[in-house]
Amino acid sequence: METNRQKRINKLLQKDLGEIFQREAPNLFQRALITVTQVKVTSDLSIAKVYLSIFGKETETVMKQVHLHSSEIRKQLGMRIKHQLRQVPQLQFFVDDSLDYIENIENLLKQ
């Protein structure tokens, strides 16, 4: 069960990470369109699971680039949230494949 503080921090991290990916994606991630779909922070606020939706490029190659630049992303996030959080959580990135799942179900229903 998420506390109100966790929910508030999830929204804050999602907004700030979305802006970081929007600004940095053309330079670092081969012009892929990256959307932060969801952020889940642990109860002790030490780890944040970030779910990304990637359009336009190979998902695997873009995720490799995201993992390579994760320390830069965390540093930029820290500069944005330094007044809200004492410690910047470790970022774990995952591919959000819910759109592919929905598309697969729709195709199955059409058959």
In the chain, the domains with their CATH numbers are: 4-110 (3.30.300.20)
Q: Rounded distance, CA 94 to CA 110, Å?
A: 29
Q: Rounded distance, CA 56 to CA 34, Å?
A: 9
- The whole-number pLDDT of residue 1 equals 76
- The whole-number pLDDT of residue 57 equals 73
pTM, rounded to two decimals: 0.84
Percent of the chain whose predicted confidence (pLDDT) is above 70: 98
